């Protein structure tokens, strides 16, 4: 529904910091938000959402959605992770060889990935049935970012390239060169059903190592 908020309404909701914890080598922050009566026109269900962020040797994200209502609901979700890179032209993404995907730039055509993902133009793809690891290889910054996940059966890979970046208006002249999105999600046809009184948990872990 194009009249509703892009990427869902939870993206712009206010969150509460429930607690913070620190140890010698980690910091953990727990945030939460919940649906209200004002959200009913957008999504007529009752839910509480919790995000636990742990910073240490890795960055760990745990997103849990609890059904606090009396009826089941369907859920899609994504961690919109924007990774800084040296130059998108020098970046490859591994872990998708042989995976099918929906090409959002080609009328949602179904295609098959062959080899690593490279960027020579705008890329906007939903890799469904993707539950494994992924790796961003960044020759410019001489590092790799390894991504592992659970509770997610799809991934999105996106970079707007120059023409769309100009239409977006907030990236600057070369901002599109400096990032890539590899998103842990349940998106497209990958829809999760959450029964009353239960919750669905999606996790992602990011580790940076030198090339």
Which of 50, 130, 183, 200 is the catalytic position?
A: 183
Which of 7, 21, 74, 80 is the catalytic position?
A: 80
50 is catalytic: no
Q: SS3 string of 18-74?
A: EEEEECCCCEEEEEEEECCHHHCCCCCCCEEEEEEEEECCCEEEEEEEEECCCCCEE
Backbone angles phi, psi at 50, to 5 degrees: -125, 135
Backbone angles phi, psi at 185, to 5 degrees: -160, 170
Residues 124, 105: Cα–Cα separation, whole Å: 6
183 is catalytic: yes
* Closest-CA residue to 177 (of 90, 118, 117): 90
- List, by residue number, the catalytic residues: 80, 183
């Amino acid at each position: 529904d194009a009249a509703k908020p892009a990427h869902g309404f939870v993206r712009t909701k206010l969150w509460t910091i429930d607690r913070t914890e620190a140890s010698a080598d980690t910091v953990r922050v727990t945030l939460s938000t919940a649906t209200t009566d004002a959200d009913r026109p957008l999504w007529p269900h009752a839910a509480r959402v919790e995000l636990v962020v742990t910073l240490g040797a890795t960055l760990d994200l745990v997103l849990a959605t609890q059904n606090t209502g009396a009826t089941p609901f369907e859920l899609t979700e994504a961690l919109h992770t924007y990774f800084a890179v040296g130059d998108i032209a020098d970046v490859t993404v591994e872990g998708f060889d042989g995976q099918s995907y929906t090409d959002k730039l080609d009328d949602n055509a179904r295609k098959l990935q062959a080899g690593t993902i490279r960027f020579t133009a705008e890329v906007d793809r939903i890799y469904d049935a993707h539950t494994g690891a992924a790796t961003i290889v960044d020759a410019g910054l001489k590092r790799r970012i390894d991504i592992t996940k659970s509770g997610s059966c799809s991934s999105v890979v996106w970079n707007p390239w120059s023409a769309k970046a100009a239409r977006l208006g907030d990236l600057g002249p070369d901002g599109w060169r400096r990032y890539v999105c590899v998103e842990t999600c349940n998106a497209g046809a990958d829809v999760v059903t959450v029964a009353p009184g239960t919750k669905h948990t999606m996790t992602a872990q990011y580790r940076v190592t030198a090339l």
